[in-house]
């Protein structure tokens, strides 16, 4: 159901010339997720595993994805829970295992300890983290996005580079297949003058002329015209630009991010669904009244857990209502723009913020 809604909503944003076969794409994704996460053929997938898979496979910045993951594996104080981090590694490392990369990047008992053990942190230059003993969101991002990062997650930044290269166009000739332009990665020889290969030829070991596969090659994700390259070289020679770009990860607050309550953020809706929306609101919990009310005899952790459970159940009910309404509107060929906008916003927020 979730994958069907994702593809239907995203397919609406594509131009008519780029529309995809939704049913076929849904079946491929569903079968692949089942093969990756239902190894024992129980007929079910953990919600956490589904969140990890969808968040890592979708288009977006790696830093944003890891920030989202940290909200799922941290406690109320904003520090990482080791048991949840192990569950995350099991879920994310199931992705390369599903494509026969288990021997290199599969999960084992030492994977979680190797990411934040003393030797690994010392090699990565995070001696301060060794003294603290606790991992916050900034420590989590610094370790997992370092270059090189943890051994078991070295494939993750490469996956994102490949995703970015899918739409990169290089208007140069490939010396292997002699195509005038190509997409993907571009590889340039550091010994042969202006010798460039597309990713297909480079990965297959195709060569021509005096070039051999022993020559050092440099990988390019984008293309710069010769004029821009000369201009950049001149600026560097006159020290108008820094010689090395400093890609620092921004520092985020250690305070855990508050999750958004969508029960009061509802756009105007058509009259025919107004009653459904009011019914959904009537079942929602008022967090402000809980916070301002008398002190409960329960502990704060139990109270927060109760609130989160009730809120999630309410949002599940709200999504179910609008899913049914959207299906009915599609059957009757009725266009409800505000309903679709609300459903899209609510659904994707559920995947990446609240589930």
For the chain, how are helix, strand and coil distributed in percent, rounded to 5? 55, 5, 40
Which two tokens mark 59?
């288009």
Rounded to whole angstroms, how far apart are CA atoms 8 and 238? 53
Contact 190, 216 (CB under 8 A): yes
pTM, to two decimals: 0.62
Average pLDDT taken over every residue of the chain: 73
Contact 216, 204 (CB under 8 A): no
Q: Three-class SS string for 284-335?
A: CCCHHHHHHCCCCCCCHHHHHHHHHHHHHHHHHHHHHHHHHHHHHHHHCCCC
DSSP state of 125: T
Residue 62's nearest CA partner among 166, 153, 126 is: 153
Domain with CATH 3.30.60.90 in the chain: 169-220
Task: Name, in order, each residue with C-beta under 8 angstroms of 92's C-beta and a sequence gap of 6 or more.
Answer: 52, 56, 153, 156
Cα of 18 vs its chain's centroid, Å: 23
15, 33, 150 from 59: Cα distances, Å: 17, 17, 22
Rounded to whole angstroms, how far apart are CA atoms 108 and 93? 10
Residue 269's nearest CA partner among 260, 261, 281, 258 is: 281
Rounded to whole angstroms, how far apart are CA atoms 140 and 121? 11
Contact 47, 20 (CB under 8 A): no
What is the DSSP pairing of strand 169-170 with strand 182-183?
A: antiparallel
Domain with CATH 1.10.238.10 in the chain: 2-153
Tracing tokens 């739409």 back to the chain, one arrives at 167
Which two tokens mark 38?
């239902």
Contact 111, 153 (CB under 8 A): no
Rounded to whole angstroms, how far apart are CA atoms 270 and 273? 6
Contact 341, 267 (CB under 8 A): yes
* pLDDT at res. 272: 42
Task: Name, in order, each residue with C-beta under 8 angstroms of 4's C-beta and a sequence gap of 6 or more.
Answer: 22, 26
**CATH number, span 2-153:** 1.10.238.10
Rounded to whole angstroms, how far apart are CA atoms 255 and 74? 11
**CATH number, span 169-220:** 3.30.60.90
Tell me the pLDDT of the chain (355 aa) as tens digits: 677 777 888 888 888 888 888 888 888 888 889 999 988 888 888 999 999 999 998 888 899 999 999 999 999 888 889 899 999 999 999 999 988 888 888 888 888 777 776 555 555 555 555 456 688 888 888 888 887 778 888 899 888 888 888 888 999 999 999 998 999 999 999 999 989 999 999 999 998 989 988 999 999 988 877 666 666 666 666 665 554 444 567 777 766 666 655 555 444 444 444 444 344 334 443 433 334 344 444 444 544 544 455 555 555 666 666 666 655 555 544 344 444 444 454 455 555 444 4
Rounded to whole angstroms, how far apart are CA atoms 74 and 296? 25
Contact 198, 174 (CB under 8 A): yes
Which two tokens mark 29?
């994704």
Rounded to whole angstroms, how far apart are CA atoms 267 and 141? 35
């Amino acid at each position: 159901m979730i994958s069907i809604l994702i593809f239907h909503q995203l397919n609406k944003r594509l131009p008519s010339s780029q529309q995809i076969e939704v049913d076929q794409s849904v079946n491929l994704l569903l079968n692949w997720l089942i093969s990756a996460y239902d190894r024992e053929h129980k007929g079910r997938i953990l919600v956490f595993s589904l969140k990890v898979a969808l968040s890592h496979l979708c288009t977006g910045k790696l830093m944003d994805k890891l920030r989202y993951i940290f909200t799922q594996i941290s406690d109320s104080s904003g520090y990482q829970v080791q048991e949840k981090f192990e569950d995350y590694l099991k879920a994310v490392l199931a992705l390369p295992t599903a494509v026969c990369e288990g021997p290199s990047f599969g999960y084992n008992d030492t994977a979680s300890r190797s990411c934040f053990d003393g030797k690994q942190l010392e090699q990565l230059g995070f001696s301060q983290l060794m003294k603290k003993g606790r991992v916050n969101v900034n420590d989590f991002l610094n370790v997992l996005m370092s270059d090189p990062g943890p051994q078991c997650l070295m494939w993750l930044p490469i996956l994102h580079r490949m995703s970015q290269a899918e739409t990169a166009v290089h208007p140069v000739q490939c010396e292997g297949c002699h195509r005038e332009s190509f997409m993907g990665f571009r590889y340039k020889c550091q010994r042969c003058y202006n010798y460039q290969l597309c990713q297909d030829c480079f990965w297959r070991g195709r060569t021509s002329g005096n070039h051999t596969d022993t020559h050092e090659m440099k990988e390019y994700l984008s293309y710069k015209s010769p004029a821009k390259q000369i201009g950049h070289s001149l600026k560097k020679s006159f020290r108008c630009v820094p010689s090395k770009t400093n890609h620092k990860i921004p520092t985020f607050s250690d305070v855990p991010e508050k999750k958004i309550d969508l029960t009061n953020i509802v756009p105007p809706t058509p009259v025919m669904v107004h009653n459904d929306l009011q019914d959904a609101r009537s079942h929602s919990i008022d967090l402000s009244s809980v916070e301002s009310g008398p002190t409960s005899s329960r502990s704060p952790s139990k109270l927060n857990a109760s609130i989160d459970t009730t809120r999630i159940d309410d949002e599940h009910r709200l999504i179910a209502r609008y899913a049914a309404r959207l299906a009915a509107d599609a059957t009757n060929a009725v266009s409800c723009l505000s309903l679709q906008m609300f459903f899209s916003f609510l659904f994707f927020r559920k995947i990446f913020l609240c589930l």
